[in-house]
Every structure is written in structure tokens, then in C-alpha cells.
Structure 1
Amino acid sequence: MGVITLENEFAVAVAPAKLFKAYCLEIDTLLPKILPEHIKSSEIIEGNGGPGTIRKITFAEGKDLSYAKQKIEAIDEENLTYSFSLIEANVWKDAVEKVTYEHKFVAAPEGGSICKRTSTYYIKGDAEINKDQIKDVYGKKTAGLFKAVEAYFLANPDV
């Protein structure tokens, strides 16, 4: 089994605590509202929202990814860190065992926040995954997600 690790940073014009709350704690209600053209639903299917919880995200029809299941690994509200593993999805099922995402939300020097993310891909057997494609496609998708969250909070500052 091979392992691919990628690191990204995403700048967002939203305070770190507010971004952490939206992305980590209120994902089930906020993301379908912010991105209805992409996310049909997000729901906890096992657990209470803490570590060990399993969440299922169902994506809008016509997307490459129709669903994904995440397992929350750790949540630290005091230090604004959050990690989860993508444990099941309809893409890469023959090549990837799981993907673990570790997030740290910190204040940006100019205001807003930076999400520092480490993604670790656990590859099955001798399967091959294109690291550059992961960087390009999924980096852009995550950047787009954070820009949508940013736009939502800038348009709704009292939320």
C-alpha cells in the first residue's frame, strides 16, 4: 500500500472560529444551504457528532461523485483543528482505501483565516493515483468550497 500526502492552504475572509464552526460543526445544515447545486444533503448516520461519527454526504445528480461517507477522527474546538477520513465514495473505490484530511484554522495576518490542510491518501495494493491530478482537481474543488462559504458569510454577516 502506498501513501500520498499533500498540503494545502486556503485563505478565507472569515474569522477562524466562525469558519471552523461552519465547516466542522454545522456542515450538515450549512453546506446544503450554501451549495445546493452541488450538495443535496449531509447527515449523520452513526454517532453523536464527535470522534467516530459517520456522516453521509449526497451530492447533486450529474456530479462525478454521487455520495461520500466520512468518519470524524478528531475535533478540537479550542485549537480549531478537525480531522476526518473519507471512508467510502463512488470514486476511486478500487484504488484508495481511505483519505484522511487534517485541518487547522488560524488567523491570517491581514484578517480572516487560513485553513491549513494535510490530505493523506492510502492507496490499495499496487494501484496508482496521479498525484498532480489530485492536487489540481481536488485542490480547486476545496478552494471553491471555501470561497462559497466565504461568500455566504460576507453576504450574511449576522449568521
Structure 2
Amino acid sequence: MKTTKKTGTKDANAASPSKMIDGRIEELGDWRGAMLGRIRGLIREADPDVVEEWKWRGVPVWEHDGIICTGETYKEVVKLTFAKGAALEDPSGLFNSSLDGNVRRAIDIREGEKINEKAFKALIRAAVGLNAAKAKKTAKKRSA
């Protein structure tokens, strides 16, 4: 897994995004932290080259050739928002939130709910593939 410096900081001593995500998981200390940690592990399994970021004043973000998804925590849900979710096939029906938009889709996980790990990892891989295809297309246009 690759990491980068905290976005928007000039302080070389600032914690890495991965450390900040570790801190968020620990500070939650409840089912949300456990779920965010589990989701993070699944993302890393699905894409070992994922880059972790910490953006928008405290949102874990996973990237590979662009944003894959964000991991927000609220009182009642852990929300995984896929930046280009509307363009992804979701045969298992994991997306259950933000379904009306033209770009994003989200998965809201509530306390006690399980996630279909195989389908989730397939969704992560599909998002990475979509990002890679767009990055390749952009690079091809620039070189033309």
C-alpha cells in the first residue's frame, strides 16, 4: 500500500494519512471504528496499490488513478461513497444510498449489518479499473 503526505499541509512532521485513519478508527472505539477498519482491510485486499488520503478536514479517502471511495462515519451509519459509483455495475445491489445522482453512489452500513465481502472487493476492483481506463484515455489524449 502506498501513502502520501497529508493533503494540504506543509508540516513535514504531520501524521501520514494512514496514521490519521488509524487514529479515526481508534477514536471511534465502537462498531463504526471496527467497521471502518474492516472496510479498509477489504479495500487493501482488493487493491494492494491503493493510496490512502485524509481530505476535507477528516475524511478517509482511498485512491488509485483517482478517488475510489470515501469512508465517512456518522452516528447511525458508516457511509462509503464511490466517486464514480453511477458508472459501476453493482450486480449484488450493495449501493443503497445516493442512488438518485448521476455520478456518485454510496453504501450505508448500520450497526449489526454485514457486508458481502466478495461483492465489495469486486466493486473496489471495478472502481479501480474505471479510474485506470479514464487515466489511460487522458494520457493518450495528452500525447496525441
* TM bucket normalised to smaller: 0.3 to 0.5
Q: Which has the higher contact order (CA 8 A, sep 6+)?
A: 1
Structure holding more helix per residue: 2
Structure holding more strand per residue: 1
